[in-house]
Amino acid sequence: SSPGSSKSSSEGHLRSHGPSRSQSKTSVTQTHLEDAGAAIAAAEAAVQQLRLQPSKRRK
């Protein structure tokens, strides 16, 4: 089979799964955003702690 034909068939496969995939993607994105928010909050807290520490200790 030539690469061109396999590519077109895979594209059709992705298209047929489009709608259901985007729906599940939305819910997944929501949970990911919540996780990202928690991660960002933790990162900001870590940065604040680093700033409070004396610069000598970092070196």
* Tokens read off for 13: 């496969």
pLDDT of res. 2: 56
First to last CA, the chain: 60
Write the pLDDT tens digit of every residue in 16-50.
555 555 566 777 788 888 888 999 999 999 999 88
pLDDT of res. 33: 85
Average pLDDT of the residues in 2-8: 55
How many CA within 13 A on the CB side of residue 15? 6
Q: Cα 10 from chain centroid? A: 24
Domain boundaries, the chain: 3-58
Coil/strand/helix, residue 1: coil
CB-based contact 39:46 (threshold 8 Å) = no
Rounded to two decimals, the pTM is 0.38
* Tokens read off for 51: 């700033």
